[in-house]
Amino acid sequence: MSLIANIGIILLNLYILLKLKLEYFNTYIFTKGQYLKFIVLEVTVGVFLINLPIAIRGYTFDLRFVLYAIIMKYLGEKITIPVILLLELIGIFFEKNVSLPLNYFVVLIIVLTIKWVFERAKKHFSDVGQMLIILYYQLIITFPFMLLQPVNFKDTLINYFILISISTVLLIVFYKIIADVKYLAKLANIDNLTNVYNSRKLHQDLGRLSISSADFAILVIDVDDFKSFNDRYGHLTGDRILREIADILSDLTRDNYYYYRYGGEEFITIVENCSDQKALHLAQEILENVRALEVDLDDNYKLSVTVSIGIAYRDQGENLRNTFQRADSALYIAKNNGKDQIYLTK
């Protein structure tokens, strides 16, 4: 029953995390209030796990190491390390025989090295592989303390194998649950026609990225005379134009570039860690690639397309929603100045 209780506690924890801030998963961008909220949540989960140890063949353990692997991957070391330390301190007040006692020395090793191990795991392993590395690393470090249990060496090895097996299977199952939920959420954030992010995702990211102090630029891209294309050549042709432009944007994707279809014929680009020339260069690339675009019609006529682009750089401390509004205003200036051009707002 304790095993089922441990599984239920972690599943409930995953549900709460996904319910709270799915879009923040694996980004590690949080406000101070969010840091505190997540730390309190994970410590509470850890306390429940401590008080519901699993007993197998006279050996007791809990699933805290599985919990640590999950939060290290999806919430980062700034939450994981305080959780480990707080649970060790809280564990002093519980007079229960939990397995794998987190000796102060072991805790110190884990706290000082878990980030280093995780950073190297990220370079060589998939998401689930990274979590398994964190799990196995903790189990290897604590193995010598299992030998202090009043059980003979053979039984200790058997218990250790059982612990690894249970932890591995459960961690993979938990990962699959997270991955499936994130996949479904991603589908809800993708524009069906163009396969880039939709306006729902845009508004989520404007709020999420506003927490960061990084430099950003926002580009608002609008297809020139799109209504006349729809009226003259039909909506199917209009849809083709939008897909072609979305493909151009996707081909220009680099690290820290985010593309969205905002509605109708308008696309948005958010560029993170952006210098003045970086956004202008990207806008110029988009402009030239769209100019080179030729949409073949049934009568062998090739349709040329252009776009207008407004750019705004984020002012220090500015909410990105305000930056977006300024970029949108810049777009209308580009339109009024003759279309097929870029306007950078001051």
SS (H, E, C) 228-269: HHHHHHCHHHHHHHHHHHHHHHHHCCCCCEEEEEEECCEEEE
| Matching residue, tokens 């039909």 | 234
- Tens of pLDDT along the chain (346 residues) come to 688 888 999 999 988 888 776 555 555 667 788 889 899 999 999 999 988 888 877 777 888 999 999 999 989 999 999 999 998 888 766 645 444 444 677 888 889 999 999 999 999 999 999 999 999 999 888 777 666 666 677 777 888 888 899 999 999 999 999 889 888 878 888 999 999 999 999 998 898 888 888 889 999 999 999 999 888 888 898 999 999 999 999 888 776 788 999 988 999 999 988 776 888 899 999 999 999 998 887 777 788 999 999 999 998 889 999 999 999 999 999 999 999 999 998 7
Straight-line distance from the first to the last Cα atom of the chain, in angstroms, rounded to the nearest whole number: 64
Domains of the chain: 2-188 (1.10.1760), 199-344 (3.30.70.270)
SS (H, E, C) 178-216: HHHHHHHHHHHCECCCCCCECHHHHHHHHHHHHCCCCCE
Measured CA to CA, the distance from residue 200 to residue 262 in angstroms comes to 9
Number of neighbours of residue 61 by Cβ within 10 angstroms = 25
The whole-model pTM stands at 0.71
Measured CA to CA, the distance from residue 272 to residue 71 in angstroms comes to 25
Distance of CA 253 to the CA centre of its chain: 17
| pLDDT the model gives residue 261 | 95
| pLDDT the model gives residue 97 | 45
Please work out, in degrees rounded to the nearest 5, the angle formed at the alpha carbon of residue 76 by the alpha carbons of 72 and 79.
95
| pLDDT the model gives residue 100 | 44
Is the CB of residue 45 less than 8 Å from the CB of residue 36? no
